[in-house]
Amino acid sequence: MKTLPIQTPGRRPLSALPPLALYVHLPWCLRKCPYCDFNSHEAREEIPQRRYVDALVADLEAALPLVWGRRVHSVFLGGGTPSLFEPERIADLLDAIRARVPLAAEVEITMEANPGTFEAGRFRGFGEAGVNRLSIGVQSFDDARLAALGRVHGGGEARAAVRAALDLFARVNVDLMYALPGQDALAAARDVSIALDLGVRHLSAYQLTLEPNTVFHLRPPVLPDEAQAACIEEAVHGALAAGGLARYEVSAFAVPGEEARHNLNYWTFGDYLGIGAGAHGKLSLPDRLFRQVRHRQPRQYMESALSGDARASEEDIPAQRLPFEFMLNALRLEQGVPPAMFEERTGLGLSAIARALAEALDRGLLDPDPRVLRASELGYRFLNDLVELFLPEEDPPVAGTDVPPAIEQPRARRDASREGGDTVSGSPPGSRASGGRA
Q: Closest approach of Cβ 33 to ligand SF4, in Å? A: 3
Q: Is 406 in the site for ligand SF4 (CB under 6 A)?
A: no
Query: Which residue of 49, 114, 292, 431 would you call a contact of ligand SF4, by CB under 6 A?
Result: 114
Helix (H) or strand (E) holding 280: strand 280-285
C-alpha closest to that of 436 among 43, 428, 223? 428
Q: Is 282 in the site for ligand SF4 (CB under 6 A)?
A: no
Neighbours of 130 (CB within 10 A): 18
Q: Is 336 in the site for ligand SF4 (CB under 6 A)?
A: no
Burial of 370 (0-12, 13-18, 19+ CB in 10 A): exposed
Q: Closest approach of Cβ 139 to ligand SF4, in Å? A: 8
Query: Which residue of 8, 40, 140, 425 would you call a contact of ligand SF4, by CB under 6 A?
Result: 40
d(CA 144, CA 119): 23
Helix (H) or strand (E) holding 414: none
Q: Is 137 in the site for ligand SF4 (CB under 6 A)?
A: yes
Q: Is 81 in the site for ligand SF4 (CB under 6 A)?
A: yes
Radius of gyration of the chain (CA): 20
d(CA 381, CA 325): 19
Residue number, 347 or 421, with CB nearest to ligand SF4: 421
Residue number, 321 or 437, with CB nearest to ligand SF4: 437
Q: How many residues bind ligand SF4 (CB under 6 A)?
A: 14
Residue number, 420 or 426, with CB nearest to ligand SF4: 420
Query: Which residue of 80, 276, 379, 405 would you call a contact of ligand SF4, by CB under 6 A?
Result: 80
Q: Where are the alpha helices (DSSP H) in 102-223?
A: 120-129, 143-148, 155-168, 185-198, 215-218
Burial of 82 (0-12, 13-18, 19+ CB in 10 A): buried
Segment interacting with ligand SF4 (CB under 6 A) among 34-42, 65-73, 91-99, 184-192: 34-42
Q: Closest approach of Cβ 276 to ligand SF4, in Å? A: 13
Residue number, 81 or 183, with CB nearest to ligand SF4: 81
Query: Which residue of 20, 21, 22, 33 would you call a contact of ligand SF4, by CB under 6 A?
Result: 33
Q: Closest approach of Cβ 411 to ligand SF4, in Å? A: 5
Q: Is 196 in the site for ligand SF4 (CB under 6 A)?
A: no
Segment interacting with ligand SF4 (CB under 6 A) among 75-83, 93-101, 201-209, 270-278: 75-83
Q: Is 431 in the site for ligand SF4 (CB under 6 A)?
A: no
DSSP 373: B
Q: Closest approach of Cβ 289 to ligand SF4, in Å? A: 29
Q: Is 36 in the site for ligand SF4 (CB under 6 A)?
A: yes
User: Residues with Cβ < 8 Å from 406, sequence gap 6 or more?
Assistant: 23, 25, 76, 78, 262, 422, 423, 424, 428, 431, 432, 433, 434, 435, 436
Q: Closest approach of Cβ 427 to ligand SF4, in Å? A: 17
Residue number, 195 or 352, with CB nearest to ligand SF4: 195
Query: Which residue of 133, 171, 321, 437 would you call a contact of ligand SF4, by CB under 6 A?
Result: 437
Query: Which residue of 8, 23, 24, 38 would you call a contact of ligand SF4, by CB under 6 A?
Result: 38
Q: Closest approach of Cβ 206 to ligand SF4, in Å? A: 11
Q: How far is CA 93 from CA 59, 85, 88, 104, 168, in A?
A: 12, 11, 9, 17, 20
Q: Is 421 in the site for ligand SF4 (CB under 6 A)?
A: no
Residue number, 67 or 438, with CB nearest to ligand SF4: 438
End-to-end CA distance of the chain: 29
The contacts found for 159-165 with CB under 8 angstroms, 24 or more apart, are: 159/194, 159/198, 160/115, 160/118, 161/113, 161/115, 161/118, 161/123, 161/136, 162/115, 162/136, 162/138, 162/195, 162/198, 162/200, 163/198, 164/118, 164/120, 164/123, 165/113, 165/123, 165/134, 165/136
Interface residues with ligand SF4 (CB under 6 A) are 29, 32-33, 36, 38, 40, 79-81, 114, 137, 411, 437-438
